[in-house]
Structure formats: structure tokens, C-alpha cells
């Protein structure tokens, strides 16, 4: 599986074309990954493309499971 968070824009465009998508989809993927979206949330892509990409790539390998806020100051 390809981890998309490690790819720059040119690599993302190449990944898209290597997997049968137009190069501009690489731009959309890059924008979505930077925004922290996972495949189901990438509504700029068609459902079939999102499902296919989810089989061959990982968009967001890190998830915040719990959030802790300090009672002393504004740190999270």
C-alpha cells in the first residue's frame, strides 16, 4: 500500500496516472490529504475512485483517538 502523506504534489500526480486516474486527480488527492481527509471524505472524487484508492493506498495513517485538554491553561 502507498502512504499518500509522504508524497509531494508531483509524486501524487504520478501516483494518480499510474493507477489509471487523470493527473488532476493527484492535485485533488494532495489537497485532501493536506486537509486531513480520508477516502470516504474526499467528495471531489467519485465513489468508485475512492473505493479503489482505499484498496491500494492509505490517506491518513495517523488518527487522534483521544483529546486531552489541560485544566491549567489552553494546551491540548
HSE on the CB side for 38, CA within 13 Å?
8
Residue 29: how many other CB atoms lie within 10 Å: 27
pLDDT of residue 22: 96
Q: Hey, what domains does the chain have and what are their CATH numbers?
A: 2-58 (1.10.150.530)
Global pTM value: 0.77
Question: Of all residues in the chain, what percent carry a pLDDT higher than 90?
Answer: 72
Each residue's pLDDT tens digit, 36-64:
899 999 999 999 999 999 999 999 877 77
Angle (CA) 43-21-57 rounded to 5° is 70
pLDDT of residue 76: 66
Amino acid at each position: 500500500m502507498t502512504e499518500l502523506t509522504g508524497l509531494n504534489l508531483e509524486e501524487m500526480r504520478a501516483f494518480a496516472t499510474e493507477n489509471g486516474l487523470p493527473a488532476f486527480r493527484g492535485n485533488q488527492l494532495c489537497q485532501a490529504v493536506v486537509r486531513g481527509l480520508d477516502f470516504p471524505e474526499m467528495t471531489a472524487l467519485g465513489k468508485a475512485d475512492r473505493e479503489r484508492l482505499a484498496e491500494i493506498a492509505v490517506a491518513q495513517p495517523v488518527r487522534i483517538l483521544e483529546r486531552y485538554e489541560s485544566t491549567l491553561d489552553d494546551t491540548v
